[in-house]
């Protein structure tokens, strides 16, 4: 196991500039998630030595490997289609990368057999690749990658071509193998659910930059920016036109005229302004405090009955008309058009037994403790 450190690694293209600072601890699986074209696969190719960086450094346990050829980096890679040779047996697929390493045939065979035992396929050596299931191919690809004894294994969307049911089963298998064998791994995917399910930590990448790194629960519940929340897709974002900092609190007013007062801790970038917010003579003012958006999870809203809003203290109250109601099995999705000038629509998730009538007016409440203040 090794620790991987990426320092100011850059690669410039006409349409994209990748710039990454990132570290992966020994034995950790870190998932990099982001939309297609954001630079995820480019990052893997830079780490593997298949692409030359413009600047920056890569370290393994403190030793720089940036200038080493790909064959000398001791980095393994599992590709999207596993890149197995269909005309070779399982055993020969695993030993293929060992040719030219001054190993005798018997040594190569012994190493392959040990790995097959390790990944739970001890009797599969003579089998044809064409006879294997998706999960068996995944394990063979992992065994072949491990045959060369890499220090770190890179996964380039290895499950993206599979159907949903198989993908969920294989990601669990892969996670169990990684934990059992203890290797350090960087796993890139565009599937957010997959990243949350498989990783120790998740990094969100957009436009060639890492915008947040955190444990799955933290990244889901406390996105650090509007960009992160938009990518995650499970939050309502209400633009803020006024933000007034006070010691320990922030007073906010949305574009729709809703006013709330939040604890300073509900501002996810609090560390940047915390000293000023917690002094009695804050140097910050509403004029220079960053504007952003009020955010809450779509399932945080609760439907109020007529007259209940007067008793719903310490809540953000929203009124509007139901434009759509969609039953989605686990919940009911409601598209609510808010009251006001140029009214925006927001999408909420309510208990599936909720009865809604299209065109009818409704009132919903969100506890102030469920709100976050996000900036760019």
pLDDT digits (tens, 9 = 90+) for 139-194: 888 888 888 888 899 999 888 777 788 788 888 888 888 888 888 999 999 999 99
Q: What is the mean pLDDT of residues 239-243?
A: 92
What is the model's pLDDT at position 237? 96
Q: DSSP letters of 102-126?
A: S--HHHHHHHHHHHHHHTT-TT-TT
Average pLDDT, the chain: 88
Short-list 12, 30, 10, CA closest to 20: 10
Residue 365 has pLDDT above 50, yes or no: yes
Residue, of 333 and 81, whose pLDDT is higher: 333
Helix (H) or strand (E) holding 236: strand 235-246
Question: Domain locations in the chain?
Answer: 4-223, 227-295, 297-374
Query: Per-residue pLDDT averaged across 68-90, rounded?
Result: 88
3-state DSSP assignment of residue 186: strand
Share of residues in the chain with pLDDT > 90 (%): 59
| The predicted structure's pLDDT at residue 136 | 87
Q: What is the pLDDT of residue 280?
A: 44
CB-based burial, 170-191: b 16+ in 10 Å, e otherwise? bbebbbebbeebebbbbbbbeb
More confident residue, 359 or 282: 359
- Per-residue confidence at 74, pLDDT binned at 50, 70, 90? confident
Question: What's the pLDDT at 311?
Answer: 67
Confidence tier at 276 by pLDDT (50, 70, 90): low
Give 283 or 348, the one with higher predicted confidence: 348
CA dist 346 and 362 (Å) reads: 13
CATH of 4-223, one of 3.30.420.250, 3.30.565.10, 3.40.50.300, 3.40.50.10190: 3.40.50.300
Closest CA to 126 of 113, 142, 111: 113
Query: Which of 17-26, 52-61, 67-76 shows the lowest mean pLDDT across its residues?
Result: 67-76
> What is the model's pLDDT at position 196?
96
Report the pLDDT value the prediction gives residue 235, as an integer from 0 to 100. Answer: 96
Mean pLDDT across 341-360: 90
Evaluate the CA torsion angle 259, 264, 270, 273 in order and state its sign: positive
Q: Tell me what pLDDT residue 282 has.
A: 47
State which CATH number among 2.70.160.11, 3.40.50.300, 3.60.20.10, 2.40.50.140 fits the domain covering 297-374: 2.40.50.140
Segment 50-57 shows an average pLDDT of 94
1 pLDDT tier (thresholds 50, 70, 90) = confident
**Whether pLDDT at 274 is above 70:** no
The pLDDT, as a whole number, for residue 281 is: 42
Q: What is the pLDDT of residue 229?
A: 96
pLDDT at res. 269: 76
């Amino acid at each position: 196991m090794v620790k991987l450190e990426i320092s100011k690694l850059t690669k410039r293209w006409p349409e994209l500039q990748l710039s990454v600072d990132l570290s992966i601890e020994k034995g950790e699986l870190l998932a990099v998630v982001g939309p297609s074209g954001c630079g995820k696969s480019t990052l893997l190719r830079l780490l593997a030595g298949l692409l030359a960086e413009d600047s920056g450094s890569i370290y393994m346990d403190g030793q720089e490997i940036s200038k080493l050829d790909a064959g000398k980096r001791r980095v393994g890679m599992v590709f999207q289609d596993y890149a197995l040779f269909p005309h070779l047996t399982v055993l020969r697929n695993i030993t293929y990368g060992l040719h030219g390493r001054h190993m005798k045939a018997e040594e190569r065979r012994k190493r392959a057999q040990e790995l097959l035992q390790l990944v739970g396929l001890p009797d599969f050596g003579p089998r044809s690749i064409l006879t294997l299931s998706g999960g068996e191919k995944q394990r063979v690809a992992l065994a072949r990658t491990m045959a060369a004894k890499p220090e770190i294994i890179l996964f380039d969307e290895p499950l993206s071509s599979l159907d949903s049911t198989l993908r969920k089963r294989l990601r669990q298998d892969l996670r169990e193998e990684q934990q059992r064998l203890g290797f350090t791994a960087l796993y890139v995917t565009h599937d957010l659910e997959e990243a949350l399910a498989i990783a120790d930590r998740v990094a969100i990448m957009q436009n060639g930059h890492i915008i947040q790194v955190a444990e799955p629960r933290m990244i889901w519940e406390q996105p650090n920016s509007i960009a992160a929340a938009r990518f995650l897709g499970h939050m309502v974002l209400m633009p803020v036109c006024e933000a007034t900092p006070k010691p320990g609190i922030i007073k906010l007013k949305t574009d729709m005229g809703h006013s709330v007062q939040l604890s300073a801790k509900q501002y996810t970038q609090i560390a940047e302004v915390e000293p000023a917010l917690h002094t009695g003579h804050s140097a910050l003012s509403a004029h220079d405090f960053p504007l952003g958006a009020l955010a809450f999870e779509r399932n945080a809203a609760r439907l109020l009955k007529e007259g209940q809003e007067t008793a719903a203290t310490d809540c953000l109250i929203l009124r509007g008309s139901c434009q759509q109601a969609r039953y989605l099995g686990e919940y009911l999705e409601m598209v609510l058009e808010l009251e006001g000038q140029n009214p925006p629509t927001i999408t909420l998730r309510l208990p599936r037994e909720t009865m809604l009538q299209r065109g009818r007016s409704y009132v919903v409440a969100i506890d102030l403790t469920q709100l976050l203040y996000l900036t760019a």
